[in-house]
Amino acid sequence: MSKTRADHTSSPNGSGHGSPKGDAPRLTLSFLTSAPDLAACPADNTPEVAFAGRSNAGKSSVLNRLSGSRQTAKVSKTPGRTQLLNFFSIKAAGGTIKAAGGAVEVRGDTPGYGRLVDLPGYGYAKAGRVEQARWQAAVNEYLSHRDNLVALVLVMDIRHPLQAYDLEIIDWATDSELPMLILLNKADKLKYGAQQRTLQTVCSRLRNSPLIRTITFSATTGLNLPELLDFLATRLASDTPDQ
């Protein structure tokens, strides 16, 4: 099992294979480091938004959609691909990214402000029990003790929403008052009516959690990408860097 991610650096402007056409908004992400546990995480002096979710829900694919490059995070048809906490720096002008009236302003390529973290997926049945417990402990430790964690993106497969561990994360985020965006990913797999019915079900289940917002999403088509970018920009801009 590979312990390193030397091949995880994305092309700076998302110009690699698989870039969205036209001027689709995107973030310039560069791979920073991987960590097996909290102790090995980089310094906590920069705000982070973490991407959590079941194995195979599409977390790494969402990061690639954000950068416009399939090379940013490893995606696999085999669940359990992401085995470490993987950190990506956002490069943006003046050290900030801003939400401006629903549009996201990300300019320039100066060293950035803010990080995105691709967390190992949970519920990967084929992983050994010991190994799975280790990933889960690392994720739980990160979520519980990472001081610079400013928000969470929970990625769910729209065809299998609100599974047991999703509900645990939702309860934890609600209790911790951590803002969360839920992506009902792989929406392209369902017709519009079915997408909306699932959205309604999830929203009504979470009506007592005001800090949680839910949207349909597709890493494949880019459906609702601007909403995700806006969430990231708002959350990262709400925190002041220490440096």
Ligand X SMILES: Nc1nc2c(ncn2[C@@H]2O[C@H](COP(=O)(O)OP(=O)(O)OP(=O)(O)O)[C@@H](O)[C@H]2O)c(=O)[nH]1
Binding site for ligand X (CB under 6 A): 53, 55-61, 75-77, 79-82, 121, 124, 185-186, 188-189, 218-220
The owner of tokens 């194995």 is: 55
Question: Least separation, in Å, of the C-beta of 35 and ligand X?
Answer: 15
- Whichever of 59 and 70 has its CB closer to Mg ion, that residue is 59
- Rounded to the nearest 10°, the torsion over CA 121, 158, 187, 25 is -50
Q: 32-63: b or e for each residue (b if 16 or more CB lie within 10 Å)?
A: bbbbeebeebbeeebbbbbbbbbbbbbbbbbb
Rounded Cα gap, residues 181 and 211, in angstroms? 8
- Closest distance to ligand X from the beta carbon of 110 (Å): 29
* Two structure tokens written together for 118: 């691709």
**163 contact choice in ligand X, Mg ion, none (CB below 5 to 8 Å, kind-dependent):** none
Find which of ligand X, Mg ion, none residue 69 binds, CB within 5 to 8 Å per kind: none
Judged by CB under 5 A, the residue of 28, 30, 46, 60 near Mg ion is 60
Q: Which of Mg ion, ligand X, none interacts with 21 (beta carbon under 5 to 8 A by kind)?
A: none
Residue 92, token pair as written in the block: 């943006």
- From the CB of 54, what's the least distance to Mg ion, in Å? 10
The entry of Mg ion, ligand X, none that residue 61 binds, CB within 5 to 8 Å by partner kind? ligand X
Q: How far apart are CA 1 and CA 212, in angstroms?
A: 35
Q: Which two tokens stand for residue 99?
A: 């939400």
Query: Whose Cβ is closer to ligand X: residue 159's or residue 197's?
Result: 159
DSSP annotation string for 150-165: EEEEEEEETTS-S-HH
CB-nearer residue toward ligand X: 99 or 219: 219
Could you tell which of Mg ion, ligand X, none binds residue 47, using a CB distance below 5 to 8 A set by kind? Answer: none
User: Pattern 71-110, binding to Mg ion, x per CB under 5 A?
Assistant: ----------xx----------------------------
Q: Shortest Cβ distance from residue 95 to Mg ion (Å)?
A: 28
Asked whether the CA dihedral 115, 233, 47, 112 is positive or negative, the reply is positive
Q: Which is nearer to Mg ion, 54 or 59 (CB)?
A: 59
Backbone angles phi, psi at 145, to 5 degrees: -125, 0
